[in-house]
Amino acid sequence: MYGMMDVRTKYAGAMINEEDLEIAKAVHEFVDKEIMPRRLDLDGGWHHDEKLARDTFDKLHKGLVDLGAQRAFFPEKYGGLGLRSTAAQMMLLEEIARGDLGLSLHLGVIYWVLGPAFMARRSNLLDQFLPKICDDKPHACCMALTEPEGGVNVEDPAQHGRAIATRAELDGDEYVINGEKIWPSCSGIADITYLTLCTTDPKKGDEGIALIYVPPDVDGLSFGKPLEKMGFCWSDINTEIFFDNVRVPKENRVAGPGKDAQILHNSIAGGRVGSASYAVGGAQACLEEVIEYTKDREIVGKPVRERSLHAGMIGEMVMAIDAARAYYLQAAYMIDSRAYGRPGEPLMLSKTTGAKVFSCDIAVLVTNKAMELMGAYGYSPEFNIEKYLRDVKMIQLWEGGAQLGRLDVTRGYYPFEWAPGR
């Protein structure tokens, strides 16, 4: 059922090599064998049983670690596999998301959090984090961006850090951090680091933006209880994070004034391509469920999928998914080529954000169509469609949502700034 499309065919046209394709194929096969049969358990079943969900998540996470997914894109000198292609990384995340979006997100956040240390060429930080990440145990990182007041305004390049309320003040050789974050993935469970977005002074704009790695066991760092959500019920843990005079060495700041702002927007661009891959993976899974279900369901003695109305709907789903996949792979290729500027510059932010917005819109459309084609069975947990619908909607909302995303798309074509103080 689940392997109905060859991996090579699915990613035809992508600028990837045979090694990358073999990794994607191995992950695809793991998903078919290990994740697909346990999707309902990952959500905790009908009653969202926390123990069942977490036990299942831990087992599958360890399986992905054993497969090499956690260390695949880190240098060999640290124990990684040394893969470098952004497109290959996105393919890996799509394949995992096809089984469960939360598992894919968990691994994607690790790459997202450690990316800034690579961008800033901070070998001392990489020496600290990567040997642990590349061992044989499951790990987690957290990117603390969003705040209770203003939400994702902290990510808006046109606001130049003015919306950031979390403060970092330099005191000798340490930064003292005070503030609050909300909704970050893996909050309260990250064991490697919390990459925290702060400002040294909101009046300084981009020069005040600071990205600081905060140890998980530092004094003054505390967490609220897990937030209840429609989707990602136990496969992604979100809490409030409180910083109460948290002291970290000044060397934990990623780069410095001005440079941190550039790296922040580079990271946001990369995160949006990752979000696109999650969304496409979820949409692909729904398509596969529908094709299988409509093979055996009949209308007047003929399979549903052979009726022109239903076949037309399935055709629309196929075209939409192919277009979304091509969009995010193009953006990934543009990042890798480095010929189009930094990922956070207007043109590239436009392309990466467009991939995210479009893919999420498509994922919501496809899951809705899947439910329409399957009727009440699509609405029940047994066939997983309702879970994918809940999960892909969350992806559409994060990292600025569909509305800020569309503004960022237009910035690739003409400048857009908010009036000062607004």
Domains of the chain, earliest start first:
7-133 (1.10.540.10), 142-259 (2.40.110.10), 260-410 (1.20.140.10)
Question: What integer is the mean pLDDT of 81-108?
Answer: 96
Strands 174-185 and 167-171: what pairing?
antiparallel
Cα–Cα distance, 304 to 299 (Å, whole number) = 6
* Single-letter amino acid, residue 333: Y
Report the pLDDT value the prediction gives residue 248, as an integer from 0 to 100.
98
CA angle 254, 256, 258 (to 5 degrees): 120
**Strand partners of residue 177:** 168, 246
Q: The tokens 């145990």 sit on which residue?
A: 137
Residue 278 CB burial class (10 angstroms; 0-12, 13-18, ≥19): buried
Q: What is the pLDDT of residues 123-137, one digit of tens each?
A: 999 999 999 999 999
Cα–Cα distance, 226 to 407 (Å, whole number) = 31
Q: The tokens 């893969």 sit on which residue?
A: 83
Cα–Cα distance, 414 to 404 (Å, whole number) = 15
Report the pLDDT value the prediction gives residue 48, as an integer from 0 to 100.
86
CA angle 260, 248, 242 (to 5 degrees): 90
Which residues make Cβ contacts (< 8 Å) with residue 229, sequence separation at least 6?
238, 394
Q: What is the pLDDT of residues 44-92, one digit of tens each?
A: 888 889 999 999 999 999 999 999 999 999 999 999 999 989 999 999 9
Q: What is the pLDDT of residues 137-159, one digit of tens each?
A: 999 999 999 999 878 889 889 89
DSSP 35: I
Residue 238 CB burial class (10 angstroms; 0-12, 13-18, ≥19): buried
Cα–Cα distance, 329 to 323 (Å, whole number) = 10
Report the pLDDT value the prediction gives residue 420, as an integer from 0 to 100.
62
What percent of the chain is predicted at pLDDT more than 70?
Answer: 97
Cα–Cα distance, 91 to 16 (Å, whole number) = 10
CA-wise closest residue to 263 among 143, 181, 163: 143
Lowest-confidence pick of 138-147, 165-174, 302-311, 410-419: 302-311
Report the pLDDT value the prediction gives residue 225, as an integer from 0 to 100.
95
Cα–Cα distance, 80 to 68 (Å, whole number) = 8
CA-wise closest residue to 240 among 136, 316, 148: 148
Q: The tokens 């969304």 sit on which residue?
A: 279
Q: What is the pLDDT of residues 173-208, one digit of tens each?
A: 999 999 999 999 999 999 999 999 999 999 999 999
pLDDT at 106 over 90: yes
pLDDT at 167 over 50: yes
Report the pLDDT value the prediction gives residue 417, as an integer from 0 to 100.
83
Report the pLDDT value the prediction gives residue 1, as an integer from 0 to 100.
43
Report the pLDDT value the prediction gives residue 39, as an integer from 0 to 100.
95
Q: What is the pLDDT of residues 335-348, one digit of tens each?
A: 999 999 999 999 99
Question: What integer is the mean pLDDT of 345-368?
Answer: 97
Q: What SS3 class is residue 417? A: coil
**Strand partners of residue 302:** 299
CA 416, 148, 209, 84 torsion: positive or negative? negative
| CA distances from residue 101 to 95, 256, 261, 302, 367 in whole angstroms, order as listed | 10, 34, 29, 34, 14
Cα–Cα distance, 271 to 167 (Å, whole number) = 24
Residue 389 near residue 306 (C-beta atoms within 8 A): no
Identify the band that residue 326 occupies on the pLDDT scale cut at 50, 70 and 90. very high
Q: What SS3 class is residue 180? A: strand
Residue 130 near residue 74 (C-beta atoms within 8 A): yes
Q: What is the pLDDT of residues 207-229, one digit of tens each?
A: 999 999 999 999 999 999 999 99
pLDDT at 18 over 90: no
pLDDT at 300 over 90: no
Backbone angles phi, psi at 51, to 5 degrees: -65, -45
Report the pLDDT value the prediction gives residue 419, as an integer from 0 to 100.
66
DSSP letter string, 69-117: TTTTTS-GGGT------HHHHHHHHHHHHHH-HHHHHHHHHHHHHHHHH
Report the pLDDT value the prediction gives residue 82, as an integer from 0 to 100.
93
| N residues, the chain | 422
Q: Higher-confidence residue: 422 or 108? A: 108
Report the pLDDT value the prediction gives residue 2, as an integer from 0 to 100.
43
